[in-house]
Structure 1
Amino acid sequence: MADTGEAAACDLVTVPAREGLEAVDLLRLRHGVGPVLHDREGGTLGFLVPPGTAARWNLPGSACTRTRGTDPAGARPPVTGSGWLVPPEGAVARATEPERLRAAIYEAVNMLAVVDRCR
């Protein structure tokens, strides 16, 4: 997901779509989720998180980058080549809380590993 070059408003945690979709479901059921992007090819999901998260994010299989995009409450996605999976107006928060996101991703990865072993 590439940067649009606009003013900084959020950081973006990017994960593979399979894990990301499970994490979205877990967050929706438990805590709520902020805006979530999907890339046009469907390979990744991007969770908007508060600014400054990128400086301390360290979770294998994911990446967190600073974006220079529109305000998460805006209608346009903050990165080019993406669309909203969870639009700002459908989110319960302006951004997903990083520690809750980390826990949901971790749980999703573990759950999917169990499913894969059962095949």
Structure 2
Amino acid sequence: MADTGEAAPDLVTVPAREGLEAVDILRLRHGVGPVLHDRECDTLGFIVPPGTAERWDLPGSACTQTFGGGRRGTQPPVTGTGWLVPPEGAVIEATEPERLRAALAEAVSMLRVVDRCT
């Protein structure tokens, strides 16, 4: 990928179960940016704007810097991953961190209810 001078996006990684619920919530309400899955389908990674890692502190998740890809590239920015929502299929370029935080909180709450009912 050619260097355009644009900062590489960050990546918020969450357990797959919460992540899948959050993807649905975001798709219905605000749109979702590109999303990665690991090959084992244990985690999902949401592409978020550069600089998010500096202030991300949501328990049960991690936010790291990437070093390329994620926005316009077809190759995932992390080795050993594939696209759940590819850049060309995403409504927005990167998921807004506060909307992602809210969607993850809602997903965790919904899954607690489901777990109590089963």
Secondary structure class of the residue paired with 2:20: helix
TM-aligned CA distance change 1:8 to 1:80, over 3 Å: farther
Structure 2 portions without partners, runs of 5+: none
Residue 73 of structure 1: how far off its partner (Å): 1.3
Q: Which aligned pairs between 1:1-119 and structure 2 lie closer than 5 A?
A: 9-119=8-118
Per-residue CA deviations over 1:3-46 (Å, capped at 9, x if unaligned) read xxx99511000000000000000000000000000000100000
Residue 105 of structure 1: how far off its partner (Å): 0.3
Residue 72 of structure 1: how far off its partner (Å): 1.3
Secondary structure class of the residue paired with 2:105: helix
Structure 1 portions without partners, runs of 5+: 1-5
TM-aligned CA distance change 1:40 to 1:8, over 3 Å: farther
Q: CA RMSD in A?
A: 1.4
Q: Distance in 1 between matches of 2:56 and 2:42?
A: 21
Q: Distance in 1 between matches of 2:7 and 2:45?
A: 16
Moved more, 62-71 or 78-87: 62-71
Residue 71 of structure 1: how far off its partner (Å): 4.8
TM-score under structure 1 length normalisation: 0.92
Secondary structure class of the residue paired with 1:95: coil
- Which AA in structure 2 matches 1:89? E
Q: Which has the higher strand share?
A: 1
TM-score under structure 2 length normalisation: 0.93
